[in-house]
C-alpha cells in the first residue's frame, strides 16, 4: 500500500505542478465566457441593411401585397429596434410588388426563374408567391398537403429564413384571416377576444422559509437555476473525467514507448503501478472539480441561487464523481497500456466514448420526467448512473433513496470490476510491444490474465 500511495503522490504532484494544469483551469472559464461574449458580439454584427422581398400576389384583388406594404411602415419604424436601447437589431424591409404572370404553368415557371435570377444577383433577398386560392379553407388541415394554389411559396438563396421570413409569414396569415372573417361577416376583433389564450405561469414548488417560517413561492431565478443546474453538473463531471483520464492515458503510452516500463516494474508490481497512477488521476480530477465547484458556488451565492446546491447534493456529486473517475480512469489507463501509440488509443476508446456521452443524449427527456422509466433505466446503467443520478438529485424533490442507494451499489460493483479488469490488461499490455491489440485480445487478457 505504501508503494501505491507513493506513486499516487508523485503522479498528483507532477500533474498539479505543471503549467498545463494551470492553463486548463483558466482556459475552461475563459472559453465559456468567450462563447457567451461571442454570442453577444454576433448579434451586434448581424446584417441590418435593407432587404428587398419581391411579392407576387395571385390572390383576388392583390390585397395581401398591399397589406404587406402597409405593415412595412410599422416594421421599419418600430419592430426593427430594441425596445430598451432603441438600437436597430433587425434588417430593414422593403416590399417590391411584382405583377403576377398569367396562370399557365409555363408562365409561372418563367416568372419564378426570372425572380430567382434576380436573387442570385443580389437584387432581391427572396421572393414570395401567394396562391390564387389562398382564401379557401382546406379539407385537410395539414399544411404540408396544401397545393401551390392554396399556399404561400417563399424562395430564397439562403437555406433557411431568419427573422424577416417569420415576420412576413405572420403578416400574411393575419391578412388572409382578415379577409376570411370579412367574407363570413365575422368581427375579427370579437373573435380574437374570445380566442384569447390563457396565461400559464410556470413556477417552482412552494416552500417554507427555514428562518422565518413563512410560506414562500419559488423565485423565477431559482427555477431557472434548477433547470440549468443538472446540465451544468453533467458537463462538469464529463469535463473533469476527460481532464484527468486523458493525460494519464497519454502518460502511460509515453512511458511504454520510451521503455520506462521495465524500470518501473523492477520496483513495483503492475497492479501497484496502475493503482498508484489511478489514485493520482482521481486526486487531480477531484482538485479540479473542487476548484470549479467552489467558484460556481461563490458566484451563485452572490445572486442568492445556492438553495439548490444542498450539502447532500454536493456529497453525492463527489461520491459519484470519484466512482466514475475510477471506472473510466482505469479503462483509460488500461487502454494506454495496451496501445502501441496514441493513434491506437483512439480506436480502442471509441466504444468507451459512446458510454461516456450517452448521458448527454438522455438529459433532455430525463429532465422533462426525472422519475420516468427512461430516467430509472439510465440510473441503473453503471456507466451513465453517476451523471444521471446527480442530475436527477439536483431536481427537487430528488431521487428516491432506494434508487439512489441501488444506483450507488451498482456503480460501486462496476468500479471494482473495472479496476480488476484494467489491472489484468495493464499487467499484460504494459510490457507488450509490436502488434496493436484488438478488443478481442483485451477480452482474452481479462479472462486469462
Could you write out the DSSP letters of every residue in 41-92? HHHHTS--S-EEEEEEE-SGGGHHHHHHHHHHHHIIIIITB-TTT--B-S--
Tracing cell 417569420 back to the chain, one arrives at 166
- Give the pLDDT band of residue 113 (cuts 50, 70, 90): very high
Residues 102-125, mean pLDDT to the nearest whole number? 92
Which one, of 268, 282, 259, 432, lies nearest residue 344 by Cα?
432
DSSP state of 409: H
Which residues of the chain are in CATH 3.40.190 domains?
49-192
Dihedral of alpha carbons 270, 274, 277, 283, sign:
negative
381 vs 377: CA distance, rounded Å: 7
Angular region, 309: left φ>0, alpha ψ -120 to 50, beta rest: beta
First-residue to last-residue Cα distance in the chain: 22
Name the helix (H) or strand (E) containing 130.
strand 126-130
Res 20 pLDDT > 80: no
Lowest mean pLDDT among 84-98, 99-113, 199-213, 415-429: 199-213
Residues 124-128, mean pLDDT to the nearest whole number? 91
| pLDDT tens sequence across 21-69 | 777 677 666 665 555 555 555 555 566 788 899 999 999 988 999 999 8
Res 362 pLDDT > 80: no
Domain 49-192 maps to which CATH number in 3.40.190, 2.30.29, 3.40.720, 2.60.40? Answer: 3.40.190
38 vs 41: CA distance, rounded Å: 5
| pLDDT tens sequence across 60-110 | 988 999 999 888 888 888 888 888 788 888 888 999 999 999 989 999 999
Instruction: Give 431 or 138, the one with higher predicted confidence.
Output: 138
Q: What angle do CA 176, 181, 182 make, to 5 degrees?
A: 100
Res 449 pLDDT > 70: no
Which one, of 234, 222, 231, lies nearest residue 368 by Cα?
231
Cβ atoms of 405 and 317 within 8 Å: the answer is: no
pLDDT of residue 304: 63
Amino acid at each position: 500500500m505504501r508503494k501505491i500511495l507513493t506513486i499516487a503522490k508523485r503522479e498528483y504532484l507532477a500533474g498539479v505542478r505543471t503549467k498545463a494544469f494551470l492553463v486548463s483551469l483558466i482556459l475552461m472559464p475563459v472559453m465559456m465566457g468567450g462563447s457567451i461574449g461571442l454570442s453577444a458580439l454576433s448579434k451586434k454584427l448581424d446584417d441590418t441593411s435593407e432587404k428587398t422581398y419581391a411579392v407576387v400576389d395571385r390572390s383576388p384583388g392583390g390585397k395581401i401585397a398591399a397589406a404587406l406594404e402597409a405593415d412595412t411602415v410599422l416594421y421599419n419604424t418600430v419592430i426593427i429596434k430594441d425596445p430598451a436601447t432603441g438600437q436597430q437589431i433587425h434588417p430593414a424591409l422593403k416590399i417590391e410588388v411584382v405583377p403576377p404572370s398569367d396562370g399557365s404553368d409555363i408562365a409561372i415557371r418563367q416568372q419564378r426563374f426570372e425572380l430567382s435570377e434576380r436573387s442570385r444577383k443580389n437584387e432581391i433577398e427572396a421572393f414570395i408567391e401567394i396562391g390564387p386560392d389562398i382564401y379557401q379553407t382546406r379539407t385537410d388541415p395539414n399544411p404540408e398537403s396544401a397545393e401551390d394554389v392554396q399556399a404561400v411559396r417563399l424562395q430564397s438563396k439562403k437555406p433557411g429564413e431568419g427573422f424577416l421570413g417569420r415576420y412576413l409569414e405572420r403578416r400574411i396569415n393575419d391578412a388572409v384571416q382578415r379577409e376570411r372573417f370579412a367574407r363570413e361577416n365575422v368581427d375579427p376583433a370579437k373573435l380574437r377576444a374570445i380566442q384569447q389564450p390563457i396565461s400559464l405561469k410556470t413556477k417552482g414548488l412552494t416552500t417554507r422559509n427555514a428562518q422565518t417560517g413563512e410560506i414562500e413561492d419559488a423565485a423565477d431565478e431559482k427555477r431557472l437555476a434548477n433547470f440549468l443546474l443538472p446540465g451544468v453538473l453533467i458537463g462538469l463531471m464529463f469535463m473533469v473525467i476527460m481532464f484527468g483520464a486523458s493525460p494519464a492515458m497519454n502518460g502511460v503510452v509515453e512511458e511504454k514507448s520510451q521503455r520506462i516500463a521495465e524500470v518501473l516494474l523492477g520496483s513495483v508490481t503492475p497492479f501497484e503501478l496502475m493503482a498508484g497512477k489511478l489514485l493520482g488521476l482521481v486526486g487531480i480530477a477531484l482538485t479540479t472539480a473542487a476548484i470549479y465547484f467552489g467558484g460556481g458556488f461563490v458566484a451563485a451565492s452572490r445572486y442568492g441561487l445556492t438553495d439548490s446546491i444542498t450539502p447532500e447534493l454536493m456529497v453525492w456529486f463527489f461520491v459519484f464523481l470519484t466512482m466514475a473517475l475510477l471506472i473510466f480512469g482505469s479503462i483509460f489507463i488500461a487502454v494506454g497500456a495496451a496501445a502501441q501509440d496514441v493513434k491506437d488509443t483512439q480506436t480502442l476508446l471509441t466504444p468507451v466514448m459512446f458510454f461516456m456521452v450517452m448521458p448527454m443524449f438522455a438529459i433532455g427527456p430525463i429532465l422533462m420526467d426525472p422519475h420516468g422509466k427512461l430516467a430509472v433505466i439510465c440510473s441503473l446503467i453503471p456507466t451513465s448512473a453517476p451523471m444521471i443520478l446527480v442530475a436527477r438529485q439536483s431536481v427537487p424533490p430528488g431521487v428516491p433513496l432506494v434508487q439512489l442507494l441501488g444506483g450507488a451499489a451498482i456503480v460501486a460493483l462496476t468500479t471494482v470490476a473495472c479496476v480488476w479488469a484494467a489491472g489484468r490488461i495493464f499487467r499484460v499490455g504494459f510490457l507488450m510491444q509490436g502488434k496493436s491489440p484488438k478488443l478481442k485480445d483485451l477480452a482474452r487478457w481479462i479472462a486469462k490474465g
